[in-house]
Amino acid sequence: MQEFVAYIVKNLVDHPDKVKISEVGGTQTLIIELSVEKADIGKIIGKRGKTINAIRTLLMSVASRNGLRVNLEILEEGEPSAAVAE
């Protein structure tokens, strides 16, 4: 899943080397945390959230084939991840 998200996101942003993706495994849901350069956040979200919703839809489709539930979160700079917060 992580590679799938990385492929999509790195092709959308201007700074693909700054893309960081981590997976936090829950009991029933896999949480994928996405961190990008501050200037690229708008490109990931898109107008009215259309781009991020499309990415989430693709991700849910791939996850359901594998019998998983997945949630994609965008982290802002300086925001602690769920793995660090717990």
Q: Does residue 84 fall inside a structural domain?
A: no
User: H helices of the chain, where?
Assistant: 2-10, 41-45, 50-65, 82-85
CATH code for the domain of 71: 3.30.300.20
Total tally of structural domains belonging to the chain: 1
Is residue 61 included in any domain, yes or no?
Answer: yes
- The mean pLDDT of the chain is 87
Long-range contacts from 45-49, C-beta under 8 angstroms, 24+ separation: 45/74
pLDDT digits (tens, 9 = 90+) for 50-68: 999 999 999 999 989 888 8
pLDDT tens sequence across 19-41: 999 998 877 788 999 999 999 99
Q: Is residue 86 part of a domain?
A: no
